[in-house]
Copies of this chain bind each other. A is one copy, B any other.
Amino acid sequence: MSMMKKEIVVIGGSAAGLTAAITAHRQYPDRSILLVRKEEQVVIPCGIPYIYGTVGSPKKNLIPDAPLEANGIALTVGEVVGIDTAGSKLELDNGDEIGYERLIVATGSLPAMPPIPGFDKGDIWGIYKEVPLLTELQTRLQSVNKLVIVGGGFIGIEFADECKKAGIEEVTVVEFLPHCLMLAFDEEFAVEAEKRLQDRGIRLKTGVKVARFEGETHVERVVLETGETIEADLVIMGIGAVANVKVAKESGLKLGATGAIAVDRTMKTSVPNIFACGDCAEKISFFGGVPSPLKLASIAASEARIAGANLYGIRRENIGTIGVWSTAIGEFALACGGLTESMAKKAGYDYVAGTAMGPNRHPGCMPDAENITIKLLFERRTGVLLGGQLMGSKSVGELVNVISACIQKRMTFDDIATFQIGTHPALTSSPIAYQLVNAAEMAFMKAAK
């Protein structure tokens, strides 16, 4: 047993923890910083599905350790089993203790594993962010012919697409909502995504729940509530994630409404010298300040840049989680920033939507031109942008970040209609047809009626 002390200690080495540590160093370059994580090697969380059909190995999907050294951040690999908040020290599973002045908790999330009957049979996999498990899954998938994925959200469809690409014969996604991705997109976008998945040979069973898993010791089939049975050599559960708060909770940190660690807008927890960020931290929405269940690496990194800056004085505030995401099915990409129509409706907004579609090059006969569709939502009375959804070519992955900036600064119909875009024949839509601007104009025309 040993005891050491650093001024700043971060628990967790993924998007939130690493970014928080780097930010702490940038903001407080003279402070000593230690990052404690339980993994020898850290996987890129969003890259996990792409291990199986694209990059080829968990070892090729790692967050490098070079930034630690480059930013003078010490590293301890070990599992934190307790936080002594009164004594400002951590206890590790090997009995070692680490003292801190400021602590950042970035323990992330764990896959949700609901107790569906039979869920404890062999070869029903949750996606843990751990190299040994992901490597084992890769080996196991090599002899799988029939794969069932429960959950048609991002993880579900990305795994489906990659496993199909890797050569698995039958890949079936089971989703209890009417369409895949329906928590992330409006129906017209979800339907287009489903078409692409089906074109690539993936079977979709939507609007139906799993009743049970059957098999001897290992799963052999998935029985749906309709009675339909799907044979399965292996099942991947992709139905979401829950905040990993065991140690924080046991150590007395308060939790929020979603079960994650409660934080204020400076990312401070209920204990004054402890901050939290990323999937383990409670989020409140940019829209109305209500608790938000969103968990994304990009949100984690943004929160980490707030937490890391505020350790010895408040320098940054969290404006609330907007929610910006994207995904790709081959060359077809989808993205969303802010509220979808169904979210806006549910939250009680009086909104107006406008949609524009056109090629992402000009003229449309430029060699790599593909269509992009943009749908924008505005609050009717104020004209303030609430959200945008996009689908089409891969450039929507960055276009959604234009929308994110517009949302963050509460830009209106007119702001966006007169937006000063840069355009180029080989890179973007034409300035006349630019979808972002025209979607705003379409919405304005509806609102003016």
- A residues near B (Cβ < 8 Å) are 15, 18-19, 22-23, 26, 44, 46-47, 50, 54-55, 60-63, 67, 286, 296-302, 305-306, 309, 315-316, 318-319, 321-322, 324-328, 333, 335-337, 362-363, 365-367, 394-402, 404-406, 408-409, 411, 414-415, 417-428, 430-432, 434, 436-437, 441, 444-445
Contacts and interface: CB of A to CB of B under 8 A. Distances in A.
Given A50-B426, A297-B423, A411-B405, A60 B305 contact: no
A313 B290 CA distance: 40
Contacts of A402: 398, 401-402, 404-405
A113 to B, nearest CB: 24
A423 B154 CA distance: 13
A61 B328 CA distance: 30
B47 A425 contact: yes
A82 B15 CA distance: 64
Contacts of A400: 422
Most buried by B among A18, A306, A430: A430
B421 A302 contact: yes
Most buried by B among A325, A363, A445: A363
A77 to B, nearest CB: 19
Given A46-B423, A47-B366, 11 more contacts: A15-B431, A23-B441, A47-B362, A299-B420, A301-B432, A316-B414, A324-B420, A324-B421, A397-B426, A398-B428, A405-B405
A362 B44 contact: yes
A324 B321 CA distance: 29
Contacts of A430: 15, 44, 46, 63, 297
A308 to B, nearest CB: 10
Nearest to A425: B47
B437 A305 contact: yes
A414 B408 CA distance: 13
Nearest to A25: B445
Contacts of A54: 366-367, 426
Contact of A432 (B18, B318, B322, B418): B18
Contact of A427 (B321, B333, B363, B436): B333
A57 to B, nearest CB: 10
A293 to B, nearest CB: 16
A158 to B, nearest CB: 9
Contacts of A327: 424
A428 B26 contact: no
Contacts of A434: 301
Most buried by B among A300, A309, A401, A409: A401
A405 to B, nearest CB: 4
Contacts of A367: 54
Contact of A404 (B50, B408, B422, B431): B422
Contact of A298 (B55, B301, B423): B423
Contacts of A418: 302, 305-306, 316, 318-319
A409 to B, nearest CB: 4
6 contacts: A15-B432, A50-B425, A299-B420, A322-B420, A326-B422, A401-B436
Most buried by B among A47, A325, A432: A432
A300 B421 contact: no
A448 to B, nearest CB: 8
B363 A432 contact: no
B47 A432 contact: no
B398 A328 contact: no
Contacts of A44: 362-363, 425, 430
A418 B317 CA distance: 9
A321 B309 CA distance: 34
A298 B414 contact: no
Most buried by B among A23, A400, A406: A400
Given A366-B55, A398-B399, A420 B305 contact: no
A326 B429 CA distance: 12
A202 B434 CA distance: 32
A411 B421 CA distance: 17
Given A301-B432, A337-B422, A328 B401 contact: no
Contact of A422 (B305, B325, B441): B325
